[in-house]
Each structure stands twice: as structure tokens, then as C-alpha cells.
Structure 1
Amino acid sequence: MTSRIHQWTIDAHDIDAHLDLHPADGDVDREVQRLVALGASHADVGQGPDEAFIVLRDPEGNEFCILKQPKFH
């Protein structure tokens, strides 16, 4: 997965962020399995099976998406 994670301290009321990620090798199924093994869970937010993304939730309840295709080519 091509992403860089930076850690900093902020007040939880200052910012809301939503991540849209796409694995660098394009293997979405493998990346979703890896993230679930690390503690993520599938989140049903009303999306259908034909959506261009898979919604996951991290162990703290924050939702993020794994894009089936990169947003920008």
C-alpha cells in the first residue's frame, strides 16, 4: 500500500479525516484481508456490492475506504 503515516498530537475536536486508500500492487482483496487480520472490520454504511470501494473500520471505530481502482490514474 502506498501511504505514509505520520503521528502527531491533536485535540480530537480539531479535525476529522477520512482516508481513501488503494494498494500499490492493486490487490484489493489481499489488502482487505491483511487489514482485517490487523484488527480492522467491515463497515456497512449502506454501500452496495458494486461500489468502487470497500468500507472498513479501524479498532477505534474510524471508517476508511479501500478503493477498488485508484482515484487518480
Structure 2
Amino acid sequence: NKQELLPPLLRNCNQVLLSTKNICIFRPQKKLDPKEIWLYTIKAVVGSCVYCVDLPGKLDIHSVLLINLLE
């Protein structure tokens, strides 16, 4: 398909923004939540669209993320 976009190529040590699309942040309304949170470093490339990100311990989510959750 000509209109299909290829995912961006990211490498180890690149910094990316984490999307808050599937992360629960305790706010009264979802529209008040930030769209992205902080810069995190990529530790490893797991697949063509999957990356292992160096997340802090206070974020209780899995560190292997799909490209659509990274900016």
C-alpha cells in the first residue's frame, strides 16, 4: 500500500517521549492528562516495531513497548 507509513527507525540510546494513551494517571478528567510524558532512553531494539525502554521503577508498566506508544 503506497499510503502506509513506515515506522521511524530508532536505535539504542535514542531518547523518546512515552505516550500516555494506555497509562492510568489519576486526574479528574482524561482531557487534563498530558499527551506524552518525559524523555526515556531506548535500551534495546527487540523487533522492527518493538523497543525496550529504560523506565523508572515508579512507573508500573512493562518496559517493552510498541512503536505507536513512542514519539
Please report the TM-score for the alignment, with normalisation by the length of structure 2. 0.30
Greater helix percent: which structure?
1
Greater strand percent: which structure?
2
